[in-house]
Amino acid sequence: MKTIKTLCVALLAAVALPTAAEEAPNITDEAAASTDTIDYGPTMGWSSWNTFALNINESTIKGQADAMVSKKLKDAGYNHINIDDGYFGGRDKTTGQLKIHPTRFPKGLKGIVDYIHSKGLKAGIYSDGGYNTCGSYHGGDTTGEGVGLYKHDQQDCDMFFKDLGFDFIKVDFCGGDPVHNKDRLDLDEKQRYTAIAQAIKNTGRKDVRMNICRWAYPGTWADDAGFSWRTTQDIQPTWASIKDILAQNLYMSAYCSKGHYNDMDMLEVGVSWGTPLTTEETKTHFGMWCIMNSPLLIGCNMKDLSTTNLTLLKNKDLIALNQDTLYQQAYLAQKTSNGCYIMVKDIEKRYGNKRAFAIYNPNDASKTVTLNFKDIDLADSVKLHDCFTKKNLTEKYLDTYKVSVPAHGTKIYVAEAQTRLERTRYEAETGYSKAYSEIQGNVCQYSEAAFCSGGYKAGYIGGSNKDNYLEWSNVYSQEGGDYQLTIGYICGETRTINVYVNSKKVKALSCNSGGWEKVGTQKLDIKLEPGENTIRLVNTSGWLPDMDYIDVVSKKVIARVDGIGTDSAIRQSAATYDLSGRKTSNAKGVVISNGKKYIKH
């Protein structure tokens, strides 16, 4: 379970705060001018917080809009200029009208939004779900008291989106979380963010994106309210922070979909305070944010970007993975024996022959990784494109690819193979639970477990809550038919797993693996339909065991393996089958033996 975030208090303390609040200039009645069409990729742009904190003003914001254009970041896809905390100037005591900071933004915000729009960019704003902002509590910015959306949802949303014409809002939650506000106000996240989403809708604007900033995965209800949600505490410009955020997002692929993104927080690329990241760490940070489909909000002063960092931020190959129209977050396919993570996702076409994958090395020493292409469901003559160098590798690979990954480094490739195999391993950390939330107890949790495949397990499933299941809705079978399901679980006592395939109960399994750090397995036969199938594990009258993985293998493959004794015999006789058991005229058939898969050349 994640802990509540900490603010960069040192940074806030360093910021000079004004003492007096004055009337903001009049807000005009002009209708929102935005004519932008809706797109659905993760939000790209810039946000003021990571570098400027509360120390923002009109020239800072306009200057960054200028830099986004002149540095050609706009051409690379970055299109939001987001004002974070620090612009508030109290509320009018009679009308409740929100006021803008008198010295930081003496002319108000309308001119700034218009300026941003005039550059062909979108404008973002910030607020809080409670009364008080984070800056008011942690940064002593008294102008941030009483300015949050609470009790002003419609009034403020009308001002932001109808009067001023903002296109994006980040809604923080210090004001609703008693640990972070003087009033100790304790508000319900689901109720608040849902009400704010409704107030945004009421403005008539359909293109406004809301970022939910509750510093942990709030719950699947967020799909109906936000475009993205912060999953962790505040990012810092340190390797420890990047590594920690990655560790908490490697298991979140099931909670990403079109227009619904896990926000790993604003980028620290080019940020010069803190313990700046090394070149390899910076590449890992940006590359993984891309393949994991996080929003990409630049957090540095764009005017000061070095050529190396600018080139990285504009890397078209990486951005294409982030904005791919399958809208998928790479999922955890494997943790290697030397502690690296293989993350993979389809691009361009579901279950096609083209996939993007990352080999992420969080270790403090470089590691040599030998990737078996079968572990990312590819076979036969694989072509690789390196997304960092933007070059095709000249060689074509058959079974494996061996590469050295520097300490804290990442390699990211697009692979195109002759054969796409059916996935057989579905890690628990790629499963979905409707009840999943990191701000609520007694519901599904994913946690690191070194003894589990993938390095994670899922626990607290079931518990008499029908929504607290674990499910994979993407169990793909080309032709349908008979499959063997193997369930890898952890259970120090006897518990029941009810197995459902495509909403039909198949079996109740009684499970006890003989220890809470020991993985046990049970097998059962299931039938799959051609296309996508859903496998759900549930217990509505008690807890499920903790889950490590499920394996789903075609019976045709198993029949071949069971029937023949030696590898060479299999290799000879399996020439006309692929790994999924399908007949193939390809003489380079794929065979399986003792749980290992081979390609016959």
Q: Which residues are marked as active site?
A: 172, 234
Residue closer to ligand GAL by CB (options 172, 578) is 172
Least distance (Å) between residue 215 CB and ligand GAL: 6
Tokens 């750090």 -> residue? 517
Query: What are the residues whose beta carbons fall under 8 Å from the beta carbon of 381, sequence distance 6 or more?
Result: 396, 397, 398, 417, 418
Cα angle: 568, vertex 569, 570; to 5 degrees: 90
Name which position in 135, 270, 406, 454 contacts ligand GAL (CB under 6 A). 135
Task: For ligand GAL, give the closer residue by CB, 124 or 409.
Answer: 124
Choose between 81 and 387: whose C-beta lies nearer to ligand GAL.
81
Which of 7, 44, 200, 254 lies at the binding interface for ligand GAL (CB under 6 A)?
7
Residue 85 beta carbon to ligand GAL: minimum distance, rounded to whole angstroms? 3
**Minimum distance from CB of 462 to ligand GAL (Å)?**
33
Q: What is the DSSP string of 319-331?
A: HHHHT-TT----E
The residue from 67, 164, 169, 174 that contacts ligand GAL (CB under 6 A) is: 174
| Integer Cα distance of 421 and 375 in angstroms | 9
Decide if residue 134 touches ligand GAL (CB under 6 A): yes
Residue 172 CB, nearest approach to ligand GAL (Å) = 5
Minimum distance from CB of 7 to ligand GAL (Å)? 6
User: How many of the chain's residues bind ligand GAL (CB under 6 A)?
Assistant: 12
Does 548 help bind ligand GAL (rule: CB under 6 A)? no
In the complex with ligand GAL, which residue's Cβ is closer, 176 or 409? 176
Q: Which residues contact 39 (CB under 8 A, 6 or more apart)?
A: none
Helix (H, G, I), strand (E, B) or coil at 477: strand
Closest separation between CB of residue 234 and ligand GAL, Å? 5
Measure Cα distances from 274 to 15, 201, 240, 268, 338 in Å.
15, 39, 11, 10, 30
Q: In what order do the strands lie in the sheet with 261-263?
A: 261-263, 228-230, 209-212, 168-172, 122-128, 80-82, 44-47, 296-298
Site residues for ligand GAL, 292-311, by CB under 6 A, read none
Among 145, 153, 167, 172, binds ligand GAL (CB under 6 A): 172
* Binders of ligand GAL in range 204-223 (CB under 6 A): 213, 215
Nearer to ligand GAL, 228 or 465 (CB): 228
As a whole number of angstroms, the distance between CA 317 and CA 327 comes to: 15
Contacts (CB under 6 A) with ligand GAL, residues 373-392: none
Judged by CB under 6 A, the residue of 158, 167, 177, 234 near ligand GAL is: 234
One-letter amino acid at 172 equals D
Beta strand segments in 259-381, E: 261-263, 296-298, 331-335, 341-346, 354-360, 367-372, 378-379
Q: Is 5 in the site for ligand GAL (CB under 6 A)?
A: yes
Per-residue contact flags (x/-) with ligand GAL for residues 34 to 73, judged by CB under 6 A: ---------------x------------------------
- Cα dist from 557 to 223, 371, 578, 597, whole Å: 39, 22, 8, 10
Q: Which of 44, 84, 328, 343 binds ligand GAL (CB under 6 A)?
A: 84
153 binds ligand GAL (CB under 6 A): no
In angstroms, the CA 377 to CA 433 distance is 24
Min dist CB 437 to ligand GAL, Å, is 18
Element (H, E) at 281: helix 279-291
Shortest distance (Å) from residue 131 CB to ligand GAL: 14
Q: Give the nearer residue to ligand GAL in terms of CB position, either 52 or 397.
A: 52
Please report where in the chains the tokens 């403020």 appear, as a residue. 156
Question: In terms of Cα–Cα distance, which of 469, 253, 302, 476 is closest to 377?
Answer: 476
Residue that the structure tokens 């060479």 belong to: 568
Q: Give least dist CB 376 to ligand GAL, A.
A: 34
Choice between 262 and 361, CB closer to ligand GAL? 262
Q: Name which position in 79, 85, 185, 197 contacts ligand GAL (CB under 6 A).
A: 85
Return the number of the residue (93 or 184) whose C-beta is nearest ligand GAL. Answer: 184
| Nearer CB in complex with ligand GAL: 84/156 | 84
Give the integer Cα–Cα distance in Å for 230 and 228. Answer: 7
* Binding of residue 412 to ligand GAL (CB under 6 A): no
Whole-number Cα distances in Å, 140 to 172, 258, 538: 16, 38, 48
For tokens 């089958």, name the residue: 577
Cβ distance 415 to 330 under 8 Å?
no
Q: Give the footprint of ligand GAL on this chain (CB under 6 A).
A: 5, 7, 49, 84-85, 134-135, 172, 174, 213, 215, 234
